[in-house]
A and B are shown apart, each in its own frame.
Chain A
Amino acid sequence: MERRIRLAQTIDWWIVALYLIMIIFGWFNVYGASYDYTQTTFWGFEYRSGKQLIWIACALVIAGSILLIDGKIYEQMANLFYWAMLLVLLVTIFIAPNIKGSHSWLVFGPISFQPAELAKLATALALGKFISKTGFSMGNRRDALGAIGLIMLPCMLIILQSETGSALVFFAFFLMLYREGLPGVFLMVAACMVVLFLIIVPLSDLPVYHNVGSLGFMLAFIFILLVVMGCVIAYESDGTTMLHILGGTVALFAIAGLLNIWFDVQYQIFALIAVIGTAIYLLFLFLYRSKRSYIWVALFAIGSVGVSFSVDYFFDHILEPHQQTRIKVVLGMEKDPKGVGYNVNQSKIAIGSGGWVGKGFLNGTQTKLKYVPEQDTDFIYCTIGEEHGFVGAAGVLCLFGLLFYRIMRIAENQRDTFTRVYAYSIVSIMLFHVLINVGMVLGITPVIGIPLPFFSYGGSSLWSFTVMLFILLRLDMTQKARFR
């Protein structure tokens, strides 16, 4: 009796309410999206909407059970759970059947299950445990590498399952790491890598002039030089060195321009020489003038050159053609409304035709008539946009915003690091899902098949997000009870 009163008093009702609103609204949209004009009933279990109802019922049972289990168990069992999960991921690679090219589903008779979903939870818990240990500091290289390793291990295994979409989700943990003290420089480096990617992929095959050189590489190297110059100013306020680098670069390009009168000059080679020369110059300054930060800037310069070449190689030789095309479509390199662009184009049409308030429940024509693919799973947001318009679609985003706010509020109120790390982990994961899923449907991020939390059809994702969320609620309750 006492326990039940405490539950009512300590649980975060905001989150419970948001959760219920989302799964109920989500269910209606699954019903709408999978609705066929021949369908007569809401409940038939031969329909997707009927099955989703079972998944929801199970999810509620799971949620209830989690609230009843002692919250301490998660911290205690975190490592065991994590390593067991890795084992399962490893085994899955070998025993999972090939479903649409990926080996990520374990099939038990009528039930199939994707271990990658639970791996996110296991990783979140393990990270919580690792980071909350006494004396942990992100500034400590061993600790930082350890945390990154915990993230990358399952990520690698999932890549081996050819489930790239789910693997990418693990990069979301870096947002949590940032909160836990990952130096901002990492994010800066990551941002630079993204910029390099965006320069190299679309431009590397374009010539600088006529048919000579590579515009992408030239611009990438110039970009690296600019960042290096920025760093020199930012870390050492060393205007002289910056001018030396700038002068050297300009001089090199002048020579290249001069040579161009007689030969066809590969400008990107001169840009490369400028970068390498700069790196050597910085190393020299590090060795003889004891400017410590220059070793890192030099390493950054060299590393970026390496990244530039590997991005090109990675994109052209490692990525599958269909993945290349998806990226090309988003980068505007290819227009292909009937091919790969078809899905995104149709989803934009569906959403765009919704207007302010939408066409009304079950009145969406684009989703009903199967113009939009995967409309009840990855493209569920289309149905929302078409049938409930701007109001519904923006409303869903606001619901997520509110949910993230509540979770972050819980996180910041924790006295114990484990729960905070865990809370930030699930915010990061959900944010990543929303970012990629909604972005894909709106045509601003590449088509990566990951579900929209609480909305997309399917038991695996619903259950795993439910478990994540309610474990957080349970952990929060435990703390509130303890410190009351």
Chain B
Amino acid sequence: MINDELQNRKYVIGGLIALIILIFIARLLFLQVFTERYKESAEGNAFLKRTIFPPRGLIYDRFGKLLVYNRPSYDVMVTMKEVTSLDTMDFCNTLGITKEDFIDRMSEIKDKKINHNYSPFTPQVFVNQLLADDYARLMEKLYRFPGFSIQQRTIRDYAYKAAAHALGSIGEVSRTTIEKDDYYKMGDYIGITGLEKSYENELRGEKGVQIMLRDSRGRIKGRYANGAYDEEPIAGKTLRLGLDIELQMLGERLMNGKRGSIVAIDPSTGEILAAVSSPTYDPTLMVGRQRSAMFKELNANPNKPLLDRTVMARYPPGSTFKVANALVLQQNNIINGGTRYPCHRGYTVGHFHLACHAHASPLDLYGAIANSCNAYFCAGLRAMLDNDKYKNITEAFNIWRSDIMTFGFGKKLGVDLPHENGGNVPTTKAYDRVHGKGRWRSLNVVSISIGQGEVVATAVQIANLCATVANRGYWITPHMVKYIENQPIPEKYKEKHTTAIEKRYYDVCVRGMEMAILGGTAKGGQIPGIEVCGKTGTAQDPPRKDHSVFMGFAPKVHPKIAIMCIVENSGFGATYAVPISSLMIEFYLRRKISPQRQELLDRMASTILIHNYGTQNKISTDN
């Protein structure tokens, strides 16, 4: 063979082939086995994770009436790459928008500065929360508008146009929240106010995910592995409230045309039976597309209808605070039921004069509570602060303060409503600052004995004081939620807080409050057949008219309801707060208002004290 010496070249060629194959295999090992990046890129390429929104938890009242539920809403989505040959005029007419709106919105969607997640291949929200009529009209023609599609979402709806503040509302999640909590994505809803906010984690449920296959041009080609890796959404938990929606509606009706609030508590459980903040608004209007316009309008209203007065408004507690003082003074052996102090139309020391109204004098403690004697409590508090058994006024004041705070004054109670205010019980330091250290006397601070001056409380704190008296010595943190589906309410809503005061001293106050109803300042609170105990208040709010305040509970034995009502700048406690509270008590205990008191109800409901009530015309007043 002539090629013999070339035979060995087959090894060179064979080696070359082997080398190529080995290089390729090494490359395959590197790509397929040792590099994770390509697997991630592949998932990012092919999987479109579509969020399935869970239905938000429902909310029921204490008797099982459905209050808040979900209603479908429709977002119009646009996929830019698929928009071809659109009849813009027809489209705009169908949606009821102008051509300029259309052009603006389209450029807004495409602007990555505004719309960070923009991609021409994925659906973008064109219009959200379409009304049902527009939706129906659009659906008929949708086939004519390539690139446009409908995404179904749910929005909140309300069975009763009541309890707007307590129930709260949801809205689109803010950018700061998205950055803090990676559960939320752009366009998600989140509780913004009320229970929707405080129980957001329970109500929202868990989002599900559907893994769709997306081809290289962004088109959806089906579900990955027939949905084997999809996650079902978990519906939000149902809330059962302590709220009695009918009582709530009655309260709102009674407060119509007035500023103020009512808080009613079941003293034995701490459940809030009614939380009226007036003026209020129609919760159904704070939903969907009109939410921002409504919000703007309400926010501009001088009567601040958006403020939840039950937990946020800071009031002087007025004479209702005398009950707390009566308890503290007894406990510290300053006074007892029989202690008498004179009153000559007020409390006068030298040039100091604090007026009181006309009543018999001197009064014992029962009579002082029943008649709300200012002089009595001024004298009582001074007797404590200047008492020799204490080292000095600072020590006496600190004992008074710590006792008062056991009623829940001066700090947040921990109500399950957002933005609760803690009120104020002054400290010696605060007085030191105003008067100079050691330079203040009992007379300087005497107004706190009648719930004025530096003492500030919220409606729910005053109602809590009332519940404490009703319980003769303990309170449970007031709360809205009775129970959460499959989950006990937090321990803190079961815990009894005992006060620093013994039960026997409560009995004195209860008797005084009973007398107030039977023949004292709160005579208007009498309800035939029900033993009501109560205490009026006329809290000064200079230079405006006094707040009309009342707190009361019924029945006297085994109380079922403790209530607090404040009608701002309306005058004496007896004028509005007493009758409104008594109607509320009657309704709660009897489920109806007796015919002879119907007239009182109508009179209260139709009394308009403030103008520009906000959305009063939008509020249903039929009960």
Contact = CB atoms under 8 A, between A and B. Distances in A.
B29 interface: yes
Contact of B21 (A365, A370, A398, A444): A398
A95 interface: no
Interface residues of B, number: 42
A370 B32 contact: no
B612 interface: no
B27 A442 contact: yes
B32 to A, nearest CB: 4
Contacts of B224: 365
B28 A431 contact: no
A80 interface: no
Could you tell me the dominant secondary structure of chain A's interface residues? helix
A348 B38 contact: yes
B42 A352 contact: yes
Contacts, number: 121
A133 to B, nearest CB: 12
Nearest to B9: A179
A44 interface: no
A355 to B, nearest CB: 6
Contacts of A354: 32
A349 B42 CA distance: 6
Given A179-B6, A442-B24, A390 B13 contact: no
Nearest to B46: A365
B443 interface: no
A465 interface: no
A136 B523 CA distance: 134
A394 B45 CA distance: 25
Contacts of B43: 353
B596 interface: no
Contacts of A239: none
B81 to A, nearest CB: 15
A405 B21 CA distance: 12
B215 A370 contact: yes
A464 B613 CA distance: 90
A175 interface: yes
A370 B213 CA distance: 11
B33 A349 contact: no
Interface in A316-364: 346, 348-356, 363
B3 A181 contact: yes
Nearest to B38: A352
A354 B43 CA distance: 12
Interface in B61-102: none
A355 B27 contact: no
A354 B6 CA distance: 43
Contact of A408 (B10, B41, B47): B10
B25 interface: yes
B17 A353 contact: no
Contacts of A351: 28, 31-32, 38
B32 A179 contact: no
A340 B224 CA distance: 29
B7 interface: yes
Given A371-B46, A397-B25, A442-B27, A349 B32 contact: no
A390 B28 contact: yes
A201 interface: no
Given A354-B32, A401-B21, A349 B9 contact: no
A427 B215 CA distance: 38
Contact of A369 (B3, B35, B214): B214
A178 interface: yes
Contact of A180 (B6, B16, B216, B217): B6
B14 interface: yes
Nearest to A36: B221
A355 B42 contact: no
A221 interface: no
B39 interface: yes
Contact of B20 (A178, A348, A371, A431): A431
B222 interface: yes
B590 interface: no
A210 B86 CA distance: 55
A397 B33 CA distance: 17
B37 interface: yes
Interface string B410-439: 000000000000000000000000000000
Q: Top 8 A-B pairs ranked by shortest CB distance?
A: A352-B38, A353-B42, A365-B46, A369-B215, A352-B31, A390-B32, A371-B216, A349-B41
Interface of A: 37, 137, 175, 178-181, 346, 348-356, 363, 365-366, 368-371, 385, 389-390, 393-394, 397-398, 400-401, 404-405, 408, 411-412, 417, 424, 427, 431, 434-435, 438-439, 442, 444
19 contacts: A175-B13, A179-B13, A181-B6, A346-B216, A352-B35, A352-B42, A353-B38, A363-B225, A366-B42, A368-B213, A369-B213, A369-B216, A371-B46, A393-B28, A397-B24, A400-B21, A401-B18, A405-B14, A431-B17
Interface of B: 2-3, 6-7, 9-10, 12-14, 16-18, 20-21, 23-25, 27-29, 31-33, 35, 37-39, 41-43, 45-47, 213-217, 221-222, 224-225
Given A179-B9, A350-B42, A411-B10, 8 more contacts: A178-B9, A178-B13, A180-B3, A352-B42, A385-B28, A397-B25, A408-B10, A438-B24
